[in-house]
Structure 1
Amino acid sequence: MKVAIVSNSKEVSVNVVDELKSELTENNVQLDQINPDLVITVGGDGTLIGGFHQYAQMVDHIRFIGVHTGHLGFYTDWRNYEIKELVKAIVEQEPTSVSYPLLEVHIEEENACTRHYLSLNESTIKRVSQTLKTDIYIKNEFFERFRGDGVCISTPTGSTAYSKSLGGAVIHPRLKTLQLTEIASINNRLFRTLSSPIIIAPDEWITLLPEHVDDYVVTIDSTEIKHHSVRKINYKISDKQIHFAKYRHTHFWSRVEDSFLGQKKKNDTLL
Structure 2
Amino acid sequence: MKTATKKGPRILRVALFGAEALDLAPHFDPYDNLRLVENNPDVVVSFGGDGTLLGAELQWPGRPKVPILNSRLGHRCIPHPAADVIRSLAEGTLVRNEYAKLECAINPAAPERADPDFTITCLNEINVHMGRINSAVRFRLWINEEPFDGGSEIIGDGFVACTPFGSTAYFNAITHGIFTQGIGVAFKATSHKTNHLVVAEDVEARFLITRGPATLAFDSSPEYLSLEDNDELIVRRHAQSAVILTCGPVRRLHEPF
Q: TM-score range by the shorter chain?
A: 0.7 to 0.9
Could you say what secondary structure the match of 1:252 adopts?
coil
CA change 1:168–1:198 in 2 (3 A) is farther
Partner of 2:117: 114
The one-letter amino acid paired with 1:156 is P
Matches within 5 A, 1:11-160: 14=20, 17-18=22-23, 20-28=24-32, 29-56=34-61, 59=62, 62-71=63-72, 73-79=74-80, 82-112=81-111, 113-129=116-132, 130-144=135-149, 145-160=153-168
Matched, 1:226 2:225: yes
Q: By how many angstroms is 1:94 displaced?
A: 4.1
- Post-superposition Cα deviations, 1:90-147, rounded to whole Å, max 9, x if no partner, equal 1223433210010111110023333100111111222212111111111100013211
Residues 178 and 200, structure 1, Cα contact 8 Å, conserved in 2: yes
Equivalent-residue separation in structure 1 for 2:79 and 2:227 (angstroms) = 42
Partner of 2:4: none
- Post-superposition Cα deviations, 1:155-199, rounded to whole Å, max 9, x if no partner, equal 111111011111152123xx3x1101110113xxxxxx3423200
CA change 1:168–1:115 in 2 (3 A) is farther
CA change 1:83–1:170 in 2 (3 A) is same
Displaced runs of 4+ in structure 1, greater than 4 A? none
* Runs of 5+ consecutive residues of structure 2 not aligned to the other structure: 1-11
Equivalent-residue separation in structure 1 for 2:233 and 2:254 (angstroms) = 35
Partner of 2:242: 242
Equivalent-residue separation in structure 2 for 1:72 and 1:226 (angstroms) = 27
State the number of aligned residues: 234
Equivalent-residue separation in structure 2 for 1:250 and 1:39 (angstroms) = 19
Partner of 1:261: none
CA change 1:254–1:158 in 2 (3 A) is closer
CA change 1:128–1:212 in 2 (3 A) is closer
CA change 1:254–1:121 in 2 (3 A) is closer
- The root-mean-square deviation of aligned C-alpha atoms, in Å, is 2.1
Matches within 5 A, 1:169-184: 169-172=177-180, 175=181, 177-184=182-189
CA change 1:90–1:238 in 2 (3 A) is same
CA change 1:209–1:253 in 2 (3 A) is closer
Q: By how many angstroms is 1:250 displaced?
A: 4.2
Residues 104 and 236, structure 1, Cα contact 8 Å, conserved in 2: yes
More helix per residue: 1
More strand per residue: 1
Matched, 1:197 2:202: no
Equivalent-residue separation in structure 2 for 1:115 and 1:168 (angstroms) = 32
Equivalent-residue separation in structure 2 for 1:26 and 1:196 (angstroms) = 53
* Runs of 5+ consecutive residues of structure 1 not aligned to the other structure: 9-13, 187-192, 259-271
Equivalent-residue separation in structure 2 for 1:254 and 1:161 (angstroms) = 10
Residues 135 and 146, structure 1, Cα contact 8 Å, conserved in 2: yes
The one-letter amino acid paired with 1:246 is T
- Post-superposition Cα deviations, 1:23-64, rounded to whole Å, max 9, x if no partner, equal 2133121111211011000011011111111112xx1xx200
- Post-superposition Cα deviations, 1:222-248, rounded to whole Å, max 9, x if no partner, equal 335232535210111111110012332
Could you say what secondary structure the match of 1:88 adopts?
helix
Residues 73 and 255, structure 1, Cα contact 8 Å, conserved in 2: no
Residues 136 and 142, structure 1, Cα contact 8 Å, conserved in 2: yes
